[in-house]
Structure 1
Amino acid sequence: MQNALSYSHQLLKEVLQPGDLAVDATMGNGHDTLFLAQLVGRTGHVYACDLQEQAIQNTKKRLEEAGLLSRATLLLTGHETLDQYLPEKELKGAIFNLGYLPQSDKAIITQPETTLLAIQLLLDRLSRKGRVVIVCYYGHSGGLAEMEQVRQFCKQLSQKEYAVLNYQFINQQNQPPLLFCIEKK
């Protein structure tokens, strides 16, 4: 069985093709941005955002080392503002890793209000069979509340328009991450 992170990549790998538009809504250290840049190829593009300059620098370095910086636009902004930057092209895939930037200030965390706004704006741009993947790390202050609000948001989505998957190991200690995948029908 795959952990939440590797399964999130599998879910996006199944839908993203060269030429597609993808979003990393929580850039962090750039692992997902790099993964998406590889999937969309030379003709696709990734928009990645984060509130911390450290995330931008870490991601830029990672993409430069892989020779893929030209495939991504790195934005120092909150994910709730992505609609101001995305082109008028349909989105094929997006990923969120909710929580905090590893090896940084753990007081700076994603917030449910902005996360839900960002998820909705990405769903509004999502193409048919496109996916928004949300990995919730909730073992920190505020994390459980955010995860529950994301769960409630996902539960209320119309089953005629979306299929929503919830994936989690339930017999592991230390709050293993929980994954949601929203696919537009």
Structure 2
Amino acid sequence: MQPVSLLEIAHHRLEQILCPGDVAIDATLGNGHDALFLAQRVGEQGSVYGFDIQVQAIAATQARLAQYPQHKVTLFNVCHAQMLRLLPESLKGQIKAVMFNLGYLPGGDKTLITQSHTTLAALNAAGKFLAERGMMTVLAYPGHQGGDQEVQALSDWLERQPDYQVELIHSQHPRPYAPRLFVIRKQSHLL
């Protein structure tokens, strides 16, 4: 049996909470794999909102989603830090899942990377939209230039968030620069 990737683990965790009709966000579209996964999970009754600063990522996601024209997917060619400004106010507290896949666009320009300050702004914005018991997954890569700082900033930010339960899953390759997955669950205020 092959080892399970961190992305597969993220998808598995989200499969447990996402239902047809839900609303989800792909905060970093990349090549569109997560947007497609989210669209398939929420179905034709649900909605997905996606963000990426690179036109190449928007085009790759549109191509990947072309076989599902009936799904409601809205793509924004902007930084994920803009989600608070762009998403409808009516979605606050309604988003069931948010996915982040940090770093650079696979197959793209490796000098264009997610930045700590925009990622933290996006996480703060996503938290405002996240429903109680909703989930964010953040796949982080400390092994590239700027990645270590982003992972540290993310870890520091999570330590200051009392409304979240965090599960940290390390890669099966235990090296300091190996990828890691943060599974972040918003707690219910009724507990």
TM-score clears 0.5: yes
Find the counterpart in structure 1 of residue 117 from structure 2: 113
Counterpart AA for 1:121: A
In structure 1, runs of 5+ residues without a counterpart are: none
Q: What residue in structure 1 maps to residue 105 of structure 2?
A: 101
Deviation by residue 1:91-148 (Cα, 9 ceiling, x = unmatched) = 1100000000001110000000000010011111111110011000221100010011
Aligned to 2:85: 84
- Name the counterpart of 1:180: 182
CA 1:170/1:70 → structure 2, altered by over 3 Å: closer, same or farther? closer
Q: Does the 8 Å CA contact 1:63/1:69 hold for their aligned counterparts?
A: no
> Does structure 1 conserve the Cα–Cα contact (< 8 Å) formed by 2:134 and 2:186?
yes
Q: Distance in 2 between matches of 1:69 and 1:7?
A: 27
8 Å contact from structure 1 (residues 97, 136) kept in 2: yes
SS of 1:153 mapped into structure 2? helix
- Please tell me whether the aligned partners of residues 136 and 177 of structure 1 are also in contact (alpha carbons under 8 angstroms): yes
What residue number does 1:73 align with? 74
Q: Please give the root-mean-square deviation of Cα atoms over the aligned residues, in Å.
A: 1.5
Paired amino acid for 1:80: A
Matched residues in 2 for 1:31 and 1:169: separation? Answer: 19
- The structure 2 residue matched to 1:27, chosen from 26, 29, 32, is 29
- 1:30-49 matches, within 5 Å, as 30-49=32-51
1:152 shift after superposition? 0.9
Quote how far apart the aligned CAs of 1:69 are.
6.3
Runs of 5+ in structure 2 lacking a partner? Answer: none
Aligned-partner SS, 1:93: strand
How far apart are 1:155 and its partner, in Å? 1.5
TM-score under structure 1 length normalisation:
0.93
Q: Distance in 2 between matches of 1:94 and 1:132?
A: 5
Identify the residue that residue 13 of structure 1 maps to in structure 2. Answer: 15
Match of 1:151 among 152, 155, 170: 155
TM-score (norm 2): 0.90
